[in-house]
Amino acid sequence: MNTMPVLVLHYHEMWLKGGNRSFFLHKFTDSIHQHLGGLGPVRVAHEDGRVLVTLGTEASLAEAVERVKRIFGVAHYSVAAECGRDLAEVEQTAWAQLEPQLFRSFAVRARRADKTLPFKSAEAERQIGRFLLDAARAAGREVSVNLNRPEVTCFVEFTRNRALVFSEKIPGPGGMAANTAGKLVCLLSGGYDSAVAAYRMMKRGARLIFVHFHGVAARVGEASEPVARDIVKTLVPYQGGARLYLVPFYELQREILLGAPEEYRILLYRRLMLRIAEKLAYKHHALGMVTGDSLAQVASQTLHNMNAVGAVARLPVYRPLVGMDKLEILDLARKIGTYDISSERFTDCCPVFMPRRPRLYAGVEELDRAEQRLDIPSLVQRGVAAAKREIYQFVDGKVVEEPHVPLPASIGA
Ligand code: ATP
Ligand code: MG
């Protein structure tokens, strides 16, 4: 048997009901390989509903464990010792795992993924537990079995080919395997919310294309593009790569400023952003847009305004944070590593020319009237044509930018 520890990845809820299982597991396997790229030879095997990852002797286990934390689909994982299914062998392996640890109480938890074994899980637990107790006492240690609140648990999983022994179950990011749900275009502002919204949709298997609208920096060093770019780079590992469109918005905002009533400005900026994002969505065969709107957080996020803004899009607009509180959102931002980036000082293009009294409860027709004097198709076209595209990949544990490729002429079509 292999002497290197095995990473055991557990998943749940990975496929839709129906015959999709192998599609999801294939994608999961691809994603595992991509995440562990550059660590030398990696063997990924599926066995009885879990994934066993074996690394070469030269690979850094600590690095591999670090990378597993960003593989969607992993519900929890363990670093296990692997051995044959013979209980005498399992006992030795279990003691080798527990001996270096400090504990006064322990329990053994066994699971048989292979039900054809000649012993029941409870019998295995008792026998291995007895052995561990004797071994610990023989080593002069004061330990006891505590089935309710053990300080250490020795987990043993019997699969059809081996036994896996580990003492820690570490929560993974959960979710569905990356890139299994189709594409969406995410409107990424650089603020806390849209980054978290992106994460939540990626976690459900959506592949995101990012679009950021930027104005002119109010002060040197306060441009918003580097902030959006850093967020994208933080999120790229989760889906293995991403496109970011940077759309200059200042000139378009000026048209709205000149051609529409003041109280509707913010809502008309939003409508225009959504229309441009939708163009990009069609271009990439994406199935909708994602925003970081959260109900009643700011004036533009009342139910009325979200409806009046969203009405211009034919594709659905997903707002995964709509029912979340700000504190919950910020917690998640900290967990996924975007909080500090969003905390940077940058010029958000929306508050520019902020109306003194923004409309709180706009209707669809009301906004239609408010933009009557604007040449919307031309504004959309100008935004799309001015978009700059950046492409990022996740290779060997690093996010790298692909060399610039000019936009295809057909983008505005
Ligand atoms: P965020 O924290 O994501 O900026 P917010 O609570 O500040 O959200 P708004 O600024 O009103 O709310 O923006 C609502 C949503 O509109 C954002 O979550 C984002 O999806 C989109 N959005 C706003 N500004 C931009 C921008 N400059 N570029 C791309 N999308 C934007
Ligand atoms: Mg914002």
Q: Is the pLDDT of residue 253 over 80?
A: yes
**Residue closest to 330 by CA, chosen among 195, 210, 222:** 195
Q: Is the pLDDT of residue 407 over 70?
A: no
* pLDDT classification of 220: cutoffs 50, 70, 90: confident
Of 2.40.50.180, 3.40.630.10, 3.40.50.620, 1.10.10.10, which CATH number belongs to 183-412?
3.40.50.620
The DSSP line for 283-350 is: HTT---EE----TTSSGGGSHHHHHHHHTT-SS-EE-TTTT--HHHHHHHHHHHT-HHHHHS----ST
Higher pLDDT, 394 or 15: 394
* pLDDT classification of 408: cutoffs 50, 70, 90: low
6-171 architecture in CATH?
Answer: 2-Layer Sandwich (3.30)
What is the structure's pLDDT at 345?
87
Burial profile 66-86: b = 16 or more Cβ within 10 angstroms, e = fewer: ebbebbbbbbebbbbbbbebe
Distance (Å) of CA 108 to CA 55, 89, 91, 206, 312: 27, 15, 11, 39, 59
Residue to substitute in 188, 193, 235 for testing ligand 1 pocket (most ligand atoms within 8 angstroms of CB): 193
Cα gap 240→242, rounded to integer Å: 7
pLDDT digits (tens, 9 = 90+) for 1-45: 457 899 999 998 766 666 788 889 999 999 999 999 999 999 999
Contacts (Cβ under 8 Å, ≥6 apart) of 313? 274, 275, 278, 289
Distance 356 CA to ligand 1 centre (A): 19
Q: Is the pLDDT of residue 90 over 50?
A: yes
What is the structure's pLDDT at 172?
96
Mark residue 182 as left, alpha or beta (left: phi above 0; alpha: psi -120 to 50; beta: remaining). Answer: left
The DSSP line for 89-131 is: HHHHHHHHHHTTS--SEEEEEEEESSTTSSS-HHHHHHHHHHH
What is the structure's pLDDT at 323?
95
Q: What is the mean pLDDT of residues 316-326?
A: 96
What is the structure's pLDDT at 413?
44
Structure token pair of residue 329: 């959102």
- What is the 8-class DSSP label of residue 411? G
**Residue closest to 34 by CA, chosen among 392, 335, 398, 390:** 398
Which H helix or E strand runs over 165?
Answer: strand 163-166
3-state helix, strand, coil in the chain (%, to 5): 40, 20, 40
Distance 311 CA to ligand 2 centre (A): 20
pTM: 0.93
Distance 227 CA to ligand 1 centre (A): 13
CB 90 within 8 A of CB 156: yes
What is the structure's pLDDT at 16?
62
What number of H helices and E strands is found in the chain?
13, 16
Q: Is the pLDDT of residue 409 over 70?
A: no
Distance 403 CA to ligand 1 centre (A): 28
**β-strands 6-10, 50-55 pairing:** antiparallel
What separation, in Å, do the N-terminal and C-terminal C-alpha atoms of the chain show?
A: 59
**For all residues of the chain together, what is the average pLDDT?**
92
Residue to substitute in 188, 189, 267 for testing ligand 1 pocket (most ligand atoms within 8 angstroms of CB): 189
Q: What is the mean pLDDT of residues 261-275?
A: 94
What is the structure's pLDDT at 62?
92
Q: What is the mean pLDDT of residues 237-256?
A: 96
pLDDT digits (tens, 9 = 90+) for 332-353: 999 999 999 999 988 887 766 7
Locate the domains of the chain by residue range.
6-171, 183-412
Q: What is the mean pLDDT of residues 108-135?
A: 95
Task: Please give all residues whose beta carbon lies within 6 A of any atom in ligand 1, as ranges.
Answer: 187-189, 191-194, 212-213, 273, 291-293, 297-298, 300, 349-350
Residue showing tokens 């913010």: 266
What proportion of the chain, given as a percentage, has pLDDT over 70?
95
Contacts (Cβ under 8 Å, ≥6 apart) of 332? 196, 199, 200
